Amino acid sequence: MRVLVTGGAGFVGSHLCDALLAENHQVVCVDNLLTGSLRNIAHLKNEPRFEFVQQDVNQPYDVGPVDYVFHFASPASPVDYMEHGIETLKVGSLGSFHSLDLAKKYGAKYMLASTSECYGDPLEHPQKETYWGNVNTIGPRSVYDESKRFAEAATMAYRRYHKVDTRILRIFNTYGPRLQLNDGRVISNFMKQALRGEPLTVYGDGKQTRSFCYVSDEVEGILRLSRSDIHDPVNIGNPVEFTILECAHLVLKVTASRSPITYEPLPQDDPKQRRPDISKARELLGWEPKINLETGLKLSMEYFQQAIEIQDAAKAGRQQTVAV
């Protein structure tokens, strides 16, 4: 197949490109590098089945005939989507329309990367796909949450009105190599702080919970859903729940760090708990995550160490330039 991955230079998108290439597909990655990086796809530079197109998907574009469209472009971390609020709303609306139009034009199958954020600060726990969510439509996170909820609606509309063969994936907190160092998400924050010997910042009392899915598990779930005929949303995430404080202690253990833990006020609309109910993925896709948090953190450590070195070298370079 010739496959389009929007957002393919991002964290999850680049791992998806790798997995699709490993299955012998041709991959066209369209990305404007807003939050992604060429570093994530540098290893594919000489891969003849891989093509990178630098393009804003909020503008109309056409990459020629494709058999599958994976729409993964979107700022995804709170730091990114709060900085790029309007772009985030646009990529869920305009960007979704453009990618759906391509799928319609070429008769391609379609997958939307949606999110657990569709459930907002959930009143139901764990979250099943049938739960409609509890989202503040005007809060600071709404640019992301509502953008994805709109994208889901657009996807279903193209299915109903234009008969596009669609799938909706609800990703829960995913981590691993290539996760941006400065994205403000729990794992990258803690790993960076622990490896630098800085205090680990816990927001609130640290009793709020999260579940973390290692990226190879997530990608396996994505591939299985892509081959399925399930058209309603499917949660793909790890259901094992940790308090933020437990996670901090695990990071300290894995990195052998002696960093202390400090506490800061909870940001507005920060969900108190988040855990996927993955019965649907288990039953219909035969999928469940295999990598536990401790193993996943170990597998990610080398990447985070390198990312810190690159960041420090860049900072030192900038300081030198300023001094000159």
Ligand X SMILES: NC(=O)c1ccc[n+]([C@@H]2O[C@H](COP(=O)([O-])OP(=O)(O)OC[C@H]3O[C@@H](n4cnc5c(N)ncnc54)[C@H](O)[C@@H]3O)[C@@H](O)[C@H]2O)c1
Q: Annotated catalytic, 203?
A: no
**What residues does 26 pair with on adjacent strands?**
2
Q: Which of these segments, 17-25, 53-61, 256-264, 315-323, binds ligand X (CB under 6 A)?
A: 53-61
In the list 2, 25, 26, 33, the residue contacting ligand X (rule: CB under 6 A) is 33
Q: State phi, psi for 39 to the nearest 5 degrees.
A: -60, -35
Least distance to ligand X from the beta carbon of 22, Å?
Answer: 18
Q: Which of these segments, 51-59, 62-70, 130-138, 313-321, binds ligand X (CB under 6 A)?
A: 51-59
Contact call for residue 147 and ligand X (CB under 6 A): no
Among the listed residues 144, 158, 175, 214, the single catalytic one is 144
- Cβ neighbours for 189, distance < 8 A, ≥ 6 positions apart: 200, 201
Contact call for residue 300 and ligand X (CB under 6 A): no
Q: 67 near 20, Cβ under 8 Å?
A: no
Contact call for residue 13 and ligand X (CB under 6 A): yes
Between 18 and 257, CB nearer to ligand X: 18
Per CB under 6 A, which of residues 115..134 are in contact with ligand X?
115
Per CB under 6 A, which of residues 150..179 are in contact with ligand X?
171, 173-174
Least distance to ligand X from the beta carbon of 319, Å?
Answer: 27
**What residues does 237 pair with on adjacent strands?**
none
Token look-up 């066209």 returns 28
**What residues does 209 pair with on adjacent strands?**
243
Contact call for residue 9 and ligand X (CB under 6 A): yes
Letters for 206-225 (x = contact with ligand X by CB under 6 A, - = none) are: --------------------
Between 171 and 191, CB nearer to ligand X: 171
Contact call for residue 95 and ligand X (CB under 6 A): yes
Least distance to ligand X from the beta carbon of 90, Å?
Answer: 7
Q: Which of these segments, 75-83, 190-198, 266-274, 289-297, binds ligand X (CB under 6 A)?
A: 75-83
Between 56 and 146, CB nearer to ligand X: 56
**CA dist 134 to 139, 275, 306, Å?**
12, 14, 39
**CA dist 117 to 64, 84, 91, 205, 210, Å?**
32, 17, 16, 22, 12
Per CB under 6 A, which of residues 180..199 are in contact with ligand X?
180
Report residue 294 as tokens.
């401790």
Between 154 and 257, CB nearer to ligand X: 154
Q: Which of these segments, 50-58, 130-138, 188-196, 273-281, binds ligand X (CB under 6 A)?
A: 50-58
Contact call for residue 74 and ligand X (CB under 6 A): yes
Residues that bind ligand X (CB under 6 A): 6-7, 9-13, 31-36, 56-58, 72-76, 80, 87, 91, 95, 113, 115, 171, 173-174, 180
Catalytically active residues are 144
